[in-house]
Chains A and B, each alone.
Chain A
């Protein structure tokens, strides 16, 4: 339901009417000449301030009209326009820049424009956004602001579901006449219950909208969460009324999504139109426009849908460079096999541990981390599992694979089954040996710890991504006297594995394992590529620091160098 795209789009005229109505009050007395008082009336208390305490605004506080420009924000989905102007010669305290936005030149005259006020600060300097404005010296004297027309011209929330809306939906064949007839009394009753200004709040108790919020808000670190249910607050209703409301709830949720989608489409449309801008400075109740030939300067711009996030250019280049290095070395390795690779003790120990386990007639434990199958650490551990399962099958030893994630369980079962087949003992594979032990982090710990103490494994492999369970597992494991090999890319858990396990694969060694174990030339080539990448980073680190230190000492401007390494979110 969340994904539904209503086919209808509410006629544009409806919105225009609403927008017009909303502006009637503001525009009643407004004309271009006294637009300032209108804007200022909104902020209120300024009128009561004695004018004497305010220094007068002079022409030198007005930005150069020639510098005033508006342009498409270059790396977005068509929702933003950048407005730029030069820093004026003088900036009295508490001065504000006022940007007025309208759909047409006419609208300025009739007062149908929206305003955005910005206080001058170093934060709005164009030089803070090199992605948009580059690194030229000029940007240090330019101010900018980001304008999303939909935020100014569209309502923030979709309209409430009213009886009229319901009728409209019926007209548009979204709901059937029968549904309309049944829903009307419910909506009418609900409208009466709620204060007029509040929307009918089904969405808060309706699960149909839950996935959207669940996805957007589920934090990575969130512990177990329970579903969202609001306390119900209802007046006494007859059973029949209750039943009707229950029937209506899913429909209402769906229609509310329709309304939201309509608003979204409307916003996209509003964003796509071209707009006109004027610039003024405001201090208390004084306003001065940036003018040319006595008329306020007008600039025009429209927002476009773009195809590249320019802020991520360095990210893309770096990702491509590293990928290219890896691919190159894979190719080289194909032609020249036998690349050198240093000894990794933790991986050398695998065979020894399995051998010892076999001698003592004890099982081998393989404990997966909590990563999902799309986490690369889980794949890396599965790759090692493939090797370990093959060896245990050869030795006729028994392996137990412990999982806490169902899909990793499935992949592990596949891998172990294949490994047993390769070793020529397909019948020895028992699906119960590769099992989900428990769903929750600490239930997993309790169950695995219990099994360890009871079965006394000879070798324990703890590989993947781990949270706090790392030490709990490793310490119990060490008390059983088994050889323990751990490996994780969770930096915070490494100290615990280092102290309690016999061998630890640290960070990238976990990823190197499958190449190391298989000695396949192409995989080894990937490792060599990784090393070249590391050298690249080491050089960047040292040279970059020296360059910047010298630059600061000499007073050079190397903002671009920092921009080169700047991370960009979003």
Chain B
């Protein structure tokens, strides 16, 4: 995998010195982390719940390690990253077994409580189990093609189901919402306009204009995506309008998402300060 030399951008001697300094700093940070943890969350204190306290320390440690990537790649992050990959792998294996393979395959075939049950399991499971085993043929370099039978089924099913599905949820639902008389844009309880924002943004004139803008924008964006029309003359103007709409939309979506993502960061900060360091902020 990574048989490329890791990017080394400083001369060898300086690099070595720097590495030593970094390792020392990391070791120091780990020690500080452990000391702070044991002061704030002593798992061996009387009446403490050691499982919970150690859990908190581990969770806080991993949180800090993951954040350390923001500074730069470092040995602790490499450990954390690989551990995380491993844990998520193990988790998936266990869950796949518990939720799918055991109840769907193992129990019906090997723990069938009655003869009739076994018979019906065989009837329903022989083909998918065979396909599942064919899929594993991919491991062989030479006979990898036998796995095609398994995924041909999945791809065929996906492609067939997709047509009615997108017709309904992408085309019809969008058209239902988009094709409306302009009169309907005005809500039933449009407030009496006393201020600018009420009149123009929520009142009567605004929504009608908005509905028109939405219609023109949709057409322009659709036009931008035309593959077989060269963007020249009128076409160029319309597709440019399309781009402007796309840009406004992307900017708006970006701005809209900031809050949700910040909430996640606030959550982590709350965890580190409130739970790990146990600083109450009431």
Q: Interface of A with B (CB < 8 Å)? A: 1-7, 174-176, 179, 207-208, 210-211, 214, 224-227, 250-251, 254-255, 312, 314-316, 318-319, 322-323, 339-342, 344, 362-363, 372-376, 379, 400, 407, 410-411, 413-414, 417, 431-433, 435, 437-440, 442-443, 446-447, 449-451, 453-456, 468, 492, 494-496, 498-499, 506-509, 512, 527-528, 530-531, 534, 537-538, 540-542, 544-545, 548-549, 551-553, 562, 565-569
Contact = CB atoms under 8 A, between A and B. Distances in A.
| Interface residue tally on B, bucketed by range | 35 or more
Contact of A318 (B82, B172, B173, B230): B172
Contacts of A508: 225
A537 B254 contact: no
A7 B95 contact: no
A507 B170 CA distance: 13
Contacts of B215: 541-542, 545
Nearest to A569: B168
Nearest to A451: B2
B151 to A, nearest CB: 5
7 nearest CB pairs, A to B: A374-B158, A544-B179, A567-B172, A440-B88, A495-B250, A4-B120, A552-B181
A443 B85 CA distance: 5
A147 B229 CA distance: 54
Contacts of B254: 495-496, 499
A339 B226 CA distance: 13
B59 interface: no
B113 A254 contact: yes
A441 B92 CA distance: 12
A255 B99 CA distance: 21
A542 B181 contact: no
Contact of A544 (B114, B175, B253): B175
A545 B218 contact: no
B100 interface: yes
Contact of B144 (A7, A315, A413, A498): A413
B22 to A, nearest CB: 15
Contact of B4 (A207, A208, A410, A455): A455
A316 B163 CA distance: 9
B244 interface: no
B269 interface: no
Given A413-B144, A567-B173, A340 B230 contact: yes
Contact of A443 (B88, B151, B157, B183): B88
Given A528-B228, A567-B168, 14 more contacts: A2-B104, A207-B107, A214-B99, A342-B231, A411-B151, A438-B85, A440-B88, A455-B6, A506-B246, A531-B227, A537-B171, A540-B175, A542-B215, A544-B175
B77 A450 contact: yes
Contacts, number: 266
Contact of A315 (B108, B141, B151, B164): B164
Nearest to A407: B151
Contacts of A439: 88-89, 91-92
B183 A552 contact: yes
Contacts of B116: 4, 6-7, 174
Interface string B82-103: 1011011101100100111011
Interface in B179-208: 179-184
Contact of A250 (B69, B113, B218): B113
Nearest to A446: B81
B117 interface: yes
Contact of B253 (A4, A495, A567): A495
B79 to A, nearest CB: 11
B175 A322 contact: no
A432 to B, nearest CB: 6
Contacts of B98: 207, 227
Interface string B214-246: 010011001101111111000000000000001
A414 B112 CA distance: 37
Nearest to A318: B167
B154 interface: yes
22 contacts: A6-B116, A174-B114, A175-B113, A175-B114, A225-B99, A318-B171, A339-B228, A372-B158, A438-B89, A440-B88, A443-B85, A443-B87, A446-B69, A446-B84, A454-B4, A495-B254, A498-B250, A530-B227, A531-B226, A531-B229, A545-B215, A548-B180
